[in-house]
Chains A and B, each alone.
Chain A
């Protein structure tokens, strides 16, 4: 366990010093700030718009970080040949993969929650400067503690995406191919609910419908983690749904990590 922790801590340390991360973080904060300006153009709807845009920005920025750092996690080590020195140490390959995974999840989680904190501060400022009559018209409080649920679900969604990016990183020799595959799975995963119910929307031969629905079920259902709308509009999010989604996310991530460990344990390094 200590070795997994060391690998994870090292990934975190290396990632937080990478300027790319700062760039993405700064861009996200800029978008959150931009949400205030857009919110002010829409009388009475400003808090909803700030929440919508802010949360969407956090999710997208988190996904970009995950994909761009995740696909290089293992492939960059191979490219640099630093993997040779590492694997010559008494470090089992599975511990290397799991350590890399937790290191990136930690990096992404810290960034996502820091962006969320910035969003909360913006919302607190809006609430503080708004008259009570306006505040009473909001469907949910500006500084809504339930936003933490949205952020937790985004973090879990990105933890699953990290597993996918890491999986592609273990066998692809090209970072570009890994990016393409991970983005493809992410976008298709966001549409997985539509794919599962393809037959309800399109008339096609049964074989095609079954195939598309099968793909929808096999892909990670990233859209399931999206509770933004319910929270922003003050609608309930059932505890059972949250429990099942968390369980789904954890089991799916464990399966993908298992596949990544399987591939990496058998990989050769020319």
Chain B
């Protein structure tokens, strides 16, 4: 199968208002294909329609118009659901169950026998790093631990398509790194991971392709390489001990200047100019070069350009 998800004109309206409900378009004509294998990031600011899209794919919401297909089946088809793992945004589970019991329960729902369910529960909880706490009631868990349980339940049946709605939400830097590593591991095992996020640095580190949503509409999609094509967009020079007279001169030559601290500046040179003459000129005025690096189009640049 070349694509795990296909949508065609997928649209969702929500009724808002109590007395006279009016439709609010949460998703507007989404046409998208997510290739099998790799990591796909569904990006966008809050309220862009990311969670709505995921819920439509899982039959938790029904489309107002358009159609969707997941693993070759319409949303809600149990043949697809047996091959999907899903983590909702900020999930809360059962206070009086242990994570081991919860995972064994979910494994049972996926069709595994009692012994196999328990073995899978232990293995998956070890994988997400909370194996030692598996016999504690979940009401004693921190938010980060609950998020890890959520990840574990999405992975309990070795799903070939793992859908994660804001998987880094509520995690500390170590937790975020662990989840990133886990996503990479799953990708390397040949699974497809679709995750929604508004944290672009995570997406840039993980995704092979992305779709960017804004106000319910798909404003960009494609591989990260395609989207950030265009390569270099200039040079960034950081220097210290720069005289004010030199800075004043540069402002007339179209060089973008940012002051970091007293005598310390960042200069952005256009792509067509070479940095060497600038560095020589800087040295002649008594300034010291700190660093010079090429500026490339980032996902953030693409995001800002399309979303604004």
Contacts and interface: CB of A to CB of B under 8 A. Distances in A.
B89 interface: yes
Contacts of A6: 105, 108-109
Interface in B108-164: 108-111, 137, 150, 153-154, 157, 163
Contact of A81 (B84, B92, B109, B137): B92
A84 B14 contact: no
Interface stretch (A24-32, A85-93, A181-189, A235-243): A85-93
Contacts of B87: 85
Contacts of B154: 85
Interface residues of A, number: 24
Contacts of A17: 96-97, 137
Interface string A2-16: 110011001001100
A90 B96 contact: no
Interface in B72-99: 78-79, 81-82, 84-94, 96-97
A10 B60 contact: no
A22 B34 CA distance: 50
A128 to B, nearest CB: 39
A85 B87 CA distance: 6
A84 B61 contact: no
Contacts of A3: 108-109
Contacts, number: 84
Contacts of B94: 10, 14, 82
A132 interface: no
B58 A88 contact: yes
Interface of A: 2-3, 6-7, 10, 13-14, 17-18, 80-82, 84-92, 268-270
Interface of B: 14, 55, 58-62, 78-79, 81-82, 84-94, 96-97, 101, 105-106, 108-111, 137, 150, 153-154, 157, 163
5 tightest CB-CB pairs across the interface, nearest first? A88-B86, A17-B96, A84-B88, A80-B92, A90-B82
